[in-house]
Amino acid sequence: MTEVESLIPHRPPFLFVDAIVARTDSTLTARRTWRADEDFYQGHYPGAPITPGVILCESVFQTGALLLAGKLAGQGKPSGVPLLAKIENVRFRSPVYPGDTITIDVKINEVAGGFYLMSGAIKNGDKRVLNVDFSVAWKTPEGQVTTPTA
């Protein structure tokens, strides 16, 4: 199990962070290399594949979950899952292609009422790919029983 998999419940094929590069108490930097054999490239777009913006956003949200899991682990391993509560101010600046390695940066801007207000950005080398603001809560969803994974 990788460090990423030990912190968040996401698993392939819906895991879009390869490794943690750096972290502080309120920031985390991660990395992801996009493989040409990813299923979504078959339909987005055949013959001219581009990483879908929604998948890029998800890689930011998963990086945010990694940051929160690391913070909460100091208080005992967190139960439950990260729940995305709000997305705003998404701005796409340049496309990402199969084979590209991106750097994902997230930071906690504020904590209010159990919600973590965060911002994230992706770069592909020196090129800015996207920026997004989002809010996350870490909890057990009503009606769901979470079980620890090995």
- What is the model's pTM? 0.92
Mean pLDDT on 16-44: 97
Residues 6+ apart with CB under 8 A from 89: 131, 132, 133
Indicate whether 111 pLDDT > 90.
yes
Overall average pLDDT of the 40-44 stretch: 95
Catalytic pick from 5, 15, 26, 44? 44
44 assigned to active site? yes
**Residue at 44: amino acid letter:** H
Res. 10: pLDDT tops 80? yes
Domain that includes residue 42, residue range: 3-139
**pLDDT over 70 at 149, yes or no:** no
145 falls within a domain: no
150 found inside a domain: no
Check residue 25 and give its pLDDT.
93
Domains in the chain, number: 1
